[in-house]
Chains A and B, each alone.
Chain A
Amino acid sequence: QKEVEQDPGPLSVPEGAIVSLNCTYSNSAFQYFMWYRQYSRKGPELLMYTYSSGNKEDGRFTAQVDKSSKYISLFIRDSQPSDSATYLCAMKNFNKFYFGSGTKLNVKP
């Protein structure tokens, strides 16, 4: 079993839709949870970073962590064509990171 599972998509939505991206994990020792956005042929950029269970909001983005279910989500409100990218979830335990394989999102104008 992989440490982190993420649906690869692709996920195609119309502009303005609410997008839900999800990851599950198996290691209850993970302490930090992140979402990265990666445009084609670019390095990933950190979008959201959370430590505890619950929700964290930043503009149109909301990260949700449920440690009891070992499940994290990223919600994008009012999605824009510029949100089209691959979204990677990541989890951290001490100095080691574990990444999902990424979900490709396409927001159609």
Chain B
Amino acid sequence: SQTIHQWPATLVQPVGSPLSLECTVEGTSNPNLYWYRQAAGRGLQLLFYSVGIGQISSEVPQNLSASRPQDRQFILSSKKLLLSDSGFYLCAWTVGTGDGYTFGSGTRLTVV
């Protein structure tokens, strides 16, 4: 079966510290992968998406970056976190154009 793993579930980081969030997908090949951020009480904001290894599209200018070192691995990073980076980060995947998203369980990031 197809599953998506996202970790950690909760993270508290000081301002200026680095960030690495990881997402892996099982049970499918060549998925489209996405990183979203959901601020409290607000909608989903698309940050990055990838249609293949090494292919990253950025939707919003920010101090975050994404990488896809393997087909089913998607990493969200930052060199120096800002207070405004706090939020609920969600990884998602689809296969093909006719699918809905499958979301991971999310990482709640608090920058202090």
Contact = CB atoms under 8 A, between A and B. Distances in A.
Interface in A44-75: 44-46, 49, 51
Contacts of B46: 96-97
A42 to B, nearest CB: 6
A102 B41 CA distance: 8
A49 B100 contact: yes
User: Interface SS of chain B: helix, strand, loop or mixed?
Assistant: strand
A91 to B, nearest CB: 11
Contact of B100 (A32, A95, A102): A32
- What is the size category of the interface that chain B forms with chain A? 20 to 34
A25 interface: no
Nearest to B49: A95
A46 B94 CA distance: 12
Interface residues of A, number: 23
Interface stretch (B11-19, B70-78, B104-112): B104-112
A107 B105 CA distance: 23
A88 interface: yes
Contact of B105 (A8, A43, A90, A100): A43
A58 B32 CA distance: 27
Contact of A44 (B6, B41, B90): B90
B104 A95 contact: no
A99 B90 contact: no
Interface in B24-46: 32, 34, 41-44, 46
Interface of B: 6, 32, 34, 41-44, 46, 49, 51, 88, 90, 92, 94, 97-98, 100-106, 108
Given A43-B105, A95-B94, 16 more contacts: A34-B101, A41-B106, A42-B106, A43-B90, A43-B92, A43-B103, A44-B90, A44-B101, A46-B101, A49-B100, A88-B43, A90-B101, A94-B97, A95-B32, A100-B43, A102-B43
